[in-house]
């Protein structure tokens, strides 16, 4: 089965700035890929090159077996990061227009619109002008405009930005539904938790380069051998008793939930046994590595407590807050 | 990728509907004719309101001794009204029949327009009267309930009979107070001229009606002879026609171009553009937008031309216009619209907001306004070297040629064809350049671009 999307050694510069460099990526058909990375990493530039809105300086790509997305436009659904609507246009007319541009007949499009709006919790808004909808509702309409023609490849650039948690969940369900229908999905986000929850595979981009390309299943099995999560049965148990266990470097947290950092080079298994002996545990486990940790571990050369790592964590947190605002 | 006519058609259709199917368009379309109609109806009425009968006294010192009596007769309201009517009738003789009948032929109709004739009381002063004292009289305010002192007329001694064998007649002096209605001076001159001419003719023992008959040669309206058809020449109409056509051309290009600019800027600033670009290529988008707005402009043009033709028909002046001119108008509209529309859309795609567009638009608007500036020159001398040169220089060539075609002496056919070919070539070149700017500009946000930036984009694309 040929890949839905294939990028080989893509490079793109804007003046002296190198936006994307040495980008290789293969997305198999039917996959759900997440492209993650902080703001300005080069995600949108990559996606715009895939969509043939920008053209790479060098490198090759193939989209749905074609040399360019332009040759397969009607089979691709695209939700750009910079997205808008015709403010004066009615929602139904806008969606019908977009579907027609994608090769759907006017009657066919008009018959799909009410059902799609119903599905995405916007029943009966087809007669309203776009400007009368809230920002979150408009985002859902825009999502529909990307999937109304049932594309084989769905490319979503920051689909969750500016959404409230309810909308995020709604949108996530719809993306999963499209994927189940058979669409290959590539979405970008700088909120790593979103990708962590739903993607089968993540690609990390940092400063224009791919730094990670791995299945989520493998990442989920990765544990952090230096961090143990511990909850005592007795909520009044003293954390100092945990800190006194040999091999423990630091104990953080309170309210009956602790994050225990081990000294470098210590085997976690005997320490866990000693901790359980010192304080009766309600829960004791090795911490899973979160995407954010993986990312920071990669880009900060493993020095996860270094200054650059802290700065990155802050910028990610700021980005996530911005996205939720 | 092959360009899809279906998608171009869809974009054009949306553009057309977005422009036409709103209240603003309908209001804008009807506003201009409505304003003209309003002016045509309201203006004469406003004028009439002001024209209130003037009443007052005029003192006359008649050194010739033969004028006072006839002058008194010539200044009665009836005599003034009759003279006015005669003047109007003569002016209307050259106007088309429909205008004549619309203007009305009764003296009351004339009065409605120019107002009631003045009521003047003539005071005869002896020839021995003191001029200084009489001048003083002019400045005196009227007695309570009395009439205003309007003028002092001094008729010179040789005003009626020149010296022996001489023809240098004397005339009159007129003194008026401050703030006098200037129409009074005209009335006094007309009455005095009437009285003096009559008196002079009588002094020569001639018959006035014979003299007038000898003097009168009616001016003929010429007949324009064209191959296979003859039509009445109408000087005023012919003089206006080039301007009307140039105006229609500029106006319709302006309407389409302006909307194209604002729509493109809006699409870019509200970020709908990238959504569209996932479905259509920039070239399809630009072509669709240009064609959609062209349909809008065509509709407006057709409505105005239709309205004009209807007016001509209702005044029975339809024969005055060569139907071929309308065909030329459409052809030249298409050529100049394509050229300007490409520029407007490229500028729209390049800028982030309308304010930034102003700087880039200045040369374009100047180019569009140039025909207005040159129109009188070209209209007067449609076949001068200047006019011929202008009709080969884009982007004004189409406008210049339109003015020349509508002028009384149209250019040779080869020049018309050359203008079309040059115009089309220029339009193609501009579209090619504009498409490149459009493509790059659409996704550029940030710094306001200048001409140099646009050139760089065109090279990049």
- One DSSP character per residue, B408-444 reads SSPPPHHHHHHHHHHHHHHHHHHHHHHHHHHHHHTT-
Q: Which of A63, A76, A86, A156 to mutate to test the interface with B (most CBs of B within 10 A)?
A: A86
Distance from CA of B433 to the nearest CA of A (A): 19
In terms of residues, how long is chain A? 325
d(CA B316, CA B18) in angstroms, rounded, equals: 38
- Which residue reads 């436009």 in tokens? A73
Taking CA B213 as the corner, what is the angle to CA B207 and CA B214, rounded to the nearest 5 degrees? 90
Task: List CB contacts (< 8 A) between A85 and chain B.
Answer: 270, 272, 275
Q: Are residues A161 and A281 in the same domain?
A: no
Size of interface A-B (CB pairs under 8 A): 64
pLDDT at B49 over 70: no
Report the distance separating Cα B19 and Cα B15, nearest Å. 6
Mutate to test the interface with A, among B259, B274, B276 (most CBs of A within 10 A): B274
Which is it for strands B149-155 and B55-62: parallel, antiparallel or unpaired?
parallel
Do A214 and A229 lie in a common domain? no
Let me know if residue A322 belongs to a domain. no
What pLDDT is recorded for position A323? 42
pLDDT digits (tens, 9 = 90+) for A122-165: 998 989 999 999 888 888 999 999 999 999 999 999 998 878 88
Rama region for A14: left / alpha / beta (φ>0; ψ in -120 to 50; rest): beta
Note the ipTM here.
Answer: 0.77
Per-residue model confidence as pLDDT tens digits over B379-407: 888 888 988 998 898 888 888 898 888 88
Contact list, A77 vs chain B (CB under 8 Å): 278
- Residue A51's closest chain B neighbor by CA? B278
Closest CA to B85 of B212, B43, B93, B219: B93
Length of chain B: 461
At CB < 8 Å, which residues of chain A contact B?
48, 51, 53-54, 68, 70-71, 73, 76-80, 82-89, 97-98, 100-102, 142, 145-146
DSSP string, B159-191: GSSPSTT------EEEE--SS--HHHHHHHHHH
Residue A137's CATH number: 3.40.50.300
Which tokens hold the place of B70? 């006839």
Residue B426 pLDDT: 93
How many C-beta atoms surround the C-beta of residue B131 within 10 A?
13
Host H or E run for residue A77? strand A76-79
Whole-angstrom distance, CA of residue A236 vs CA of residue A233: 9
Average pLDDT of chain B is: 82
DSSP state for residue B335 in the 8-state scheme: H
b/e map B342-364, b = 16+ CB within 10 Å: bbbbbbbbbbbeeebbeebbeeb
Q: Are residues A188 and A252 in the same domain?
A: no
CA gap B422, B416 in Å, rounded: 10
Up-side HSE of residue A54: CA atoms within 13 Å toward CB? 22
- A251 and A200 in a common domain: no
Q: Are residues B10 and A101, on separate chains, in Cβ contact within 8 Å? A: yes
Are both A198 and A255 inside the same structural domain?
A: no
Interface list for B 20-39 with A (CB within 8 A): 22
The answer to whether residue B279 neighbours chain A at the CB level (below 8 Å) is: yes
| DSSP β-ladder status, A258-262 and A223-232 | antiparallel
Residues in chain B within 8 Å Cβ distance of A44: none
> Quick one: which H or E segment has residue A201?
strand A201-206
Candidate from B267, B273, B278 with C-beta closest to A76 = B278
Q: Are residues A245 and A136 in the same domain?
A: no
- CATH number of the domain within which A253 lies: 3.30.70.980
Nearest CA in chain A to B266: A86
Average pLDDT over residues B293-311: 87
Cα separation of B245 and B379, whole Å?
Answer: 11
Residue in chain B closest to A90 (alpha carbons) equals: B18
**Same-domain check for residues A174 and A275:** no
Q: Which of residues 240-269 of B touch A (CB under 8 A)?
A: 267
CA distance B445 to chain A (A): 11
**Rounded Cα gap, residues B164 and B176, in angstroms:** 33
Q: Which of A69-73, A216-220, B293-297, B451-455 has the highest mean pLDDT?
A: B293-297
- CB contact burial B178-209 (16+ within 10 A = b; e otherwise): eebeeebeebbebbbebbbebbbbeeeeeeee
User: Cα separation of B97 and B232, whole Å?
Assistant: 12
- Per CB-CB distance under 8 Å, the chain A contacts of B272 are 83-86
Angle between helices B397-406 and B413-441 (to 10 degrees): 150
- What residues in B contact A101, CB-CB < 8 Å? 7, 10-11, 276, 279-280
**How do residues A255-282 score in pLDDT, each as one tens digit?**
778 888 888 888 888 888 898 888 888 8
| A141 within some domain | yes
The pLDDT confidence band at residue A325, using thresholds 50, 70 and 90, is very low
Q: Which of A83-92, A178-187, B60-69 has the highest mean pLDDT?
A: A178-187
Q: B74, B195 in Cβ contact below 8 A? A: yes
Q: Do B271 and A83 touch (CB under 8 A)?
A: yes
Collect all residues with Cβ–Cβ distance below 8 Å to A301 and sequence separation of at least 6.
none
CB spacing of B279 vs A101 below 8 angstroms: yes
The reply to whether residue A83 touches residue B279, judged by beta carbons under 8 angstroms, is: no
pLDDT > 70: what percent of chain B?
Answer: 86
Q: Do B278 and A51 touch (CB under 8 A)?
A: yes
Pick the closest to residue B456 from B345, B339, B350 (CA basis).
Answer: B350
Q: Characterize B2-24 residue by residue with b for buried, 16 or more Cβ atoms within 10 angstroms of its Cβ, and e for exposed.
A: eebeebbbbbbbbbbebbeeeee
Q: Is residue A61 part of a domain?
A: yes
C-alpha–C-alpha distance, residues A191 and A207, integer Å: 17
Q: Is A32 contained in some domain?
A: yes
Whether residue A86 and residue B272 make contact (CB cut-off 8 A), yes or no, is yes
CB contact under 8 A, B271 and A48: no
Q: Which of B36-45, B205-214, B375-384 bottoms out in mean pLDDT, i.e. has the lowest?
A: B36-45
Inter-chain residue contact A70 with B7, CB threshold 8 Å: no
Nearest to A155 by CA among A58, A81, A66: A81
Q: Does one domain contain both A113 and A186?
A: yes
Which CATH fold topology does B53-220 show?
Answer: D-Maltodextrin-Binding Protein; domain 2 (3.40.190)
Element (H, E) at A34: strand A32-36
- Which tens digit of pLDDT belongs to each residue from B332-350? 999 999 999 999 999 998 8
Contact state of A73 with B10 under an 8 Å Cβ cutoff: no
Distance CA A154, CA A31 (A): 10
When scoring B5, B6, B272, B457 by the number of chain A Cβ atoms within 10 A, the one with the most, hence best to mutate, is B272
Task: Please name the residue that has the structure tokens 């007669």.
Answer: A127
Residue B304 has pLDDT above 80, yes or no: yes
Residue A317 is predicted with a pLDDT of 62
Say if residue A148 is in the same domain as residue A280: no
Higher-pLDDT residue of B365 and A100 is: A100
pLDDT at B88 over 70: yes
Residue A231 sits in the same domain as residue A211:
no
Chain A CB contacts of B271 under 8 Å are 80, 82-84
Q: What angle do CA B356, B442, B292 make, to 5 degrees?
A: 95
- Using CB atoms, pick whichever of A84, A98, A102 lies closest to residue B270: A84
Cis ω for the linkage preceding A106 (within 30 of 0): no
Q: Where exactly are the structural domains of chain B?
A: 5-32+231-460, 53-220
Task: Compute, in degrees rounded to 10, the torsion defined by CA atoms B403, B406, B411, B413.
Answer: 110
- The enclosing H or E element of A239 equals helix A239-243
Residue-range definition of the domain harbouring residue A117: 5-219
Rg (Cα) of chain B, in Å, rounded?
Answer: 32
Tell me the mean pLDDT in the region B237-259. Answer: 83
Query: Residue B92, Cα to own-chain centre: how many angstroms?
Result: 19
Which of B64, B74, B79, B91 is closest to B193 using CA atoms? B74
User: How many structural domains comprise chain A?
Assistant: 2
Residue A309 lies in a domain: no
Residue A238 structure tokens? 């003293």
Same domain, A200 and A228: no
| A248-252/A209-215 β-pairing | unpaired
Q: Specify if A319 maps to a domain.
A: no
Average pLDDT value for residue range B304-313 = 82
Residue B112 has pLDDT above 90, yes or no: no
Which residues of chain A are within 8 Å of residue B11 when distances are taken between CB atoms? 101
Which of A171, A200, A219 marks a domain boundary?
Answer: A219
Cross-chain CB nearest to A101 (options B7, B272, B273): B7
Task: Report how far apart, in Å, the C-alpha atoms of A297 and of each of A170, A174, A199, A219, B296 are.
Answer: 32, 32, 20, 13, 60
Q: Is residue A111 part of a domain?
A: yes
């Amino acid at each position: 089965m040929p890949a839905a999307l294939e990028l080989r050694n893509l490079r793109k510069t804007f003046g002296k700035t190198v936006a994307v460099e040495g980008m290789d990526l293969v997305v198999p058909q039917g996959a759900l890929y997440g492209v993650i990375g902080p703001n300005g990493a080069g995600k949108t530039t990559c996606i715009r090159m895939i969509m043939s809105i920008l053209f790479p300086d060098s490198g090759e790509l193939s989209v749905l077996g074609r040399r360019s997305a332009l040759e397969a436009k009607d089979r691709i659904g695209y939700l750009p990061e910079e997205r808008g609507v015709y403010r004066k246009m009615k929602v139904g007319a806008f969606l019908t227009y977009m579907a027609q541009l994608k090769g759907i007949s006017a009657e066919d499009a008009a018959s799909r619109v009410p059902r799609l709006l119903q599905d995405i919790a916007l029943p009966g808004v087809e007669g309203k002008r776009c400007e009368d909808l809230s920002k979150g509702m408009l985002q859902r309409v825009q999502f529909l405009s990307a999937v109304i023609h049932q594309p084989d490849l769905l490319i979503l650039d920051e689909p969750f930005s500016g959404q409230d948690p309810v909308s995020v969940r709604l949108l996530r369900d719809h993306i999963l539904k499209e994927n189940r229908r058979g669409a290959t999905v590539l979405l970008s986000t700088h909120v790593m938790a979103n990708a962590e929850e739903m993607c089968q595979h993540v690609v990390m981009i940092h400063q224009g380069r791919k730094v990670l390309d791995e299945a989520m299943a493998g990442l989920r099995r990765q544990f952090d051998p230096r961090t143990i999560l511990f909850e005592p049965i007795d909520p009044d148990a003293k954390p100092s008793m945990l800190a006194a266990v040999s091999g423990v470097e630091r104990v953080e947290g309170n309210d009956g939930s602790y994050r225990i950092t081990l000294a470098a080079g210590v085997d976690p298994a005997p320490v866990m046994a000693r901790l359980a002996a010192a304080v009766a545990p309600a829960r004791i486990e090795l911490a899973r590595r979160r995407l954010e940790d993986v990312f920071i571990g990669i880009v900060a050369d493993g020095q996860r407590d270094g200054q650059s790592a802290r700065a990155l964590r802050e910028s990610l947190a700021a980005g996530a807050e911005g996205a939720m605002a | 990728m092959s360009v899809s006519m279906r998608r171009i058609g869809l974009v054009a259709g949306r553009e057309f509907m977005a422009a036409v199917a709103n209240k603003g368009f309908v209001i804008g379309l009807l506003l201009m004719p409505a304003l003209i109609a309003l002016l045509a109806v309201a203006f004469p009425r406003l004028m009439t309101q002001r024209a209130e009968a003037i009443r007052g006294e005029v003192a006359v010192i008649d050194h010739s001794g033969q004028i006072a009596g006839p002058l008194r007769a010539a200044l009665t309201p009836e005599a003034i009204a009759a003279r006015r009517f005669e003047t109007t009738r003569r002016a209307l003789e050259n106007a088309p029949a429909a205008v004549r009948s619309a203007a009305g032929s009764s003296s009351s109709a004339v009065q409605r327009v120019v107002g009631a004739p003045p009521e003047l009381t003539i005071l005869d002063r002896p020839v021995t009267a003191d001029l200084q004292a009489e001048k003083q009289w002019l400045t005196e305010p009227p007695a309570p309930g009395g009439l205003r002192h309007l003028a002092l007329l001094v008729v010179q001694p040789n005003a009626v009979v020149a010296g022996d064998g001489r023809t240098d007649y004397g005339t009159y002096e007129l003194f008026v107070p401050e703030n006098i209605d200037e129409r009074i001076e005209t009335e006094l001159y007309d009455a005095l001229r009437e009285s003096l001419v009559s008196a002079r003719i009588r002094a020569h023992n001639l018959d006035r009606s014979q003299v007038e008959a000898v003097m009168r040669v009616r001016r003929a309206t010429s007949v324009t002879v064209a191959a296979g058809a003859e039509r009445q020449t109408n000087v005023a109409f012919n003089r206006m026609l080039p301007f009307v056509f140039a105006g229609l051309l500029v106006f319709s290009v302006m309407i389409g171009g302006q909307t194209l600019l604002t729509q493109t800027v809006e699409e870019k600033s509200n970020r709908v553009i990238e959504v569209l670009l996932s479905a259509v290529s920039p070239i399809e988008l630009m072509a669709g937008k240009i064609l959609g707005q062209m349909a809008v402009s065509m509709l407006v043009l057709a409505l105005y031309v239709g309205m004009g033709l209807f007016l001509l028909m209702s005044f029975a002046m339809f024969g005055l216009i060569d139907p071929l001119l309308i065909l030329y108008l459409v052809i030249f509209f298409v050529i100049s619209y394509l050229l300007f529309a490409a520029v407007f859309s490229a500028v729209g795609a390049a800028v982030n907001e309308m304010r930034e567009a102003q700087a880039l638009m200045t040369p374009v608007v100047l180019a569009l306004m140039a025909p207005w500036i040159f129109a009188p020159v070209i209209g007067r001398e449609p076949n001068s070297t200047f006019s011929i040169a202008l009709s080969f220089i884009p982007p004004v060539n189409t406008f210049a040629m339109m003015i020349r075609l509508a002028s009384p002496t149209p250019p040779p056919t080869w020049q018309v064809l050359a203008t079309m070919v040059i115009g089309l070539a220029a339009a193609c070149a501009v579209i090619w350049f504009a498409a490149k700017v459009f493509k790059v500009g659409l996704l550029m946000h940030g710094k306001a671009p200048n001409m140099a930036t646009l050139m760089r984009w065109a090279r990049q694309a």
